[in-house]
Each structure stands twice: as structure tokens, then as C-alpha cells.
Structure 1
Amino acid sequence: MFRKDKWFKLGWAYFVVMFILEIILPAWTGEENGVIENLQMLWLFAGLWYSWKMIRTKQRFLEQAKYLWTAGCVYFFLLIMREISWGRVFFVDEKGHMAQYSDLGLYGKLVHPTVAVFIVVALSACTKRKFGARYWR
């Protein structure tokens, strides 16, 4: 079961507060790259940092948990990169629209294969030393 530490409680408080803020805040705060999306990015970076921190701590109950935390790092990295559309939000055309992958040249062609590689890395980290196999049967 989940540990009910400060991050767990803070995450649920954030979840509840978002529903309240959705009623109170104007519509522009929920737009692309608005206040709510930036807060979401903050939580995604916090998840990445927490997973990274947990890789470096000694696990008392299960030594192979570092592989699961490695998969967590990859997962949060993928979420962060998806949130910024793999960098496309930083490139706009002359009309102010987000650039398409085809407009980004070689980088645009490599995004989807890179995502596939990261997914394979995360899945292999989950199954490292048969960690995931015990829970997935």
C-alpha cells in the first residue's frame, strides 16, 4: 500500500484544490502553457526528482526496488516531454502555431523511435531481476 508521507498527502491536496480552482479561476488559466499546466509540470518534475532520490536510497525491504524507481524516472521523463510535445512548444511558425514534427527535420523523425526506446527501457527496468514478474502474474 502507499505510504502516507507528506508527498502523498500533498498530492491528494493538490488534486482536490485543482477542482476548486477550476471553478474559481478564469478560463485562460487552463489554456496551453497556462498556470495550471505549469503547476502540472512542477508536479511532474517533483515526481522525477523523488524517483531519482529513491534510486539513491537503500531500500530496506526490497533491494531490487531501485529498478522500479528507474522505471519511474523514465516514466516521469516521458510525461514531462509529452507535456511540452517533445519541445515543439518552443518552436512556432510565422502564424504563431506550434511546429509540426515534419518541420523539425531529423529531430522530428527521431522523436517517436526515441519514445519507443524509452518505453522499452522502462519495461526492462520493471522486469529486471524478475522484479515485475512476481507482481504481474
Structure 2
Amino acid sequence: MKSKCPCPVCLVPLEELSQLAKSFPTCTTRQAKEALTIYQEKKSASELILKALGLWPVVVSFNIFWKVENSELEEAVSFNHLHALHDGLFGHHSLKELKIILSKLPCKYAVQLEEQYILPSIYFAKRS
């Protein structure tokens, strides 16, 4: 099952990952609970809902976070690797913005960024 919304934080559609100027709704615990309820009632009816939310049909018998009243677990994410680092989909989310910023700075900053962050990460990624 391929997700239509691959981001674990927001509901950005796959075909719009590079649209940095747009905002998308946040994934919520309520949506996950409702999708799980539908999945438990009728699996075939839940497939499109799960896909649209970027969720997999994994049944969890007990989730302690869902038991806490008035908690919004989705708002507790302090750092999102998918949007911030070169892991995941950095090239679609942040790379274009970074290139715009670097184009307005002296060339030495682009060179420094490449030497300190990009080249070492490529080297270590190939080794593992």
C-alpha cells in the first residue's frame, strides 16, 4: 500500500511535496483513532481512509497516549527529521529554500556548507 501522504507530521499529498509555500493540515490522533475503528469494523472500507492519512493497518491493542485526556500527541513533536534534515525528503521540503538563501550570500558560505555538512553525510551514508 503506497501512502498518498508520506509525511508523518502533516497531510501533504505525495505530488505536492515540493510546494514549500503551501500549508497542509496536521495529522491528528483523532484521525488515527477513527481510521482504526473503521479498520476494525470493515477492513476493505478503511483502505482508502488509511491511504489518505498515510497510515498502515496496524492494530494496537493498547496505546497509553490515547488514554490521556485532552492530550494532543501530534503537537508534542519537537523536531521533525523529515522536514529538517537531509534524511527522508529533505530535497523536496528544504533544499530549494536553502538554495535561495545561499544564492544571496557570498560563495564562501555555500562552500563551507558543502564541506561541513553535505560531503561528510554523503561519505557516511555510502559506508553504512
**Given the two structures, how large is their TM-score scaled by the length of structure 2?**
0.26
Structure with greater contact order relative to length (CA < 8 Å, sep ≥ 6): 2
**Given the two structures, how large is their TM-score scaled by the length of structure 1?**
0.25
